[in-house]
Amino acid sequence: MRYFLFILIMILSSCSIYKTRSAFTTEKLSIKGGVYEDETWDTSLYFKRYSWYIDATLKNEILIADLDNQSEFFKWLGNDTVKAQSCKKFQIALVYSDANAEQSNPYLIDQIRKSHVEVLEILDFKKELKSHQNLKDWYLSRHKILGLCSDSGSFTVSIPSFMTQTLQ
């Protein structure tokens, strides 16, 4: 009987350990203020942060911010302004994959593209955001910065060992 109880406890605890090893979290963060040429502003750019963890290690992360031409941060697009204005819905994405993660940045970007989202290189915006202090404060300097052009502003990401998530 003890042997049976021991086996039962081991099976139940191994199942609970399996479920807690993979975690998906969401939160919000903001980049406050900006400077472009001779202009400064104190408004914020708000990001939705989607993070995939295994144990206590961040494996993958995508941050999404809506950016319309009314936002002062829109100025950071510089030469890419025309590309962004041609989009029905334009967003900024910061994409991160841990060096040891099985799903790398190209995998995550491919997941975004599969939802009929055009992924754009936004070099001027990238340069401005990389120099912003809040990016360093939030430890986001290793994230790949991209523009997303879509009809709806939402897309799905499927990472093995996690439930498929719709990000918007």
pTM of the model: 0.83
**Looking at the domain assignment, is residue 47 inside a domain?**
yes
Quote the pLDDT of residue 2. Answer: 65
Handedness of CA 132, 138, 60, 92 (dihedral sign): negative
Interatomic CA distance for residues 166 and 162, integer angstroms: 12
Number of domains into which the chain is organized: 1
If pLDDT is split at 50, 70 and 90, which confidence band does 122 have? very high
Write out the two tokens for 159: 């990472």
**Looking at the domain assignment, is residue 37 inside a domain?**
yes
SS3 at position 85: helix
**Looking at the domain assignment, is residue 96 inside a domain?**
yes
Give the mean pLDDT of the chain: 87
Interatomic CA distance for residues 98 and 142, integer angstroms: 9
**Looking at the domain assignment, is residue 57 inside a domain?**
yes
**Looking at the domain assignment, is residue 90 inside a domain?**
yes
In tens, the pLDDT along 135-164 reads 888 888 899 999 999 998 888 888 888 887
Interatomic CA distance for residues 80 and 128, integer angstroms: 13
The parent domain of residue 105 ranges over 22-167
In tens, the pLDDT along 13-61 reads 555 444 558 899 999 999 999 999 999 999 999 999 999 999 888 999 9
Quote the pLDDT of residue 25. Answer: 92
**Looking at the domain assignment, is residue 5 inside a domain?**
no
**Looking at the domain assignment, is residue 7 inside a domain?**
no
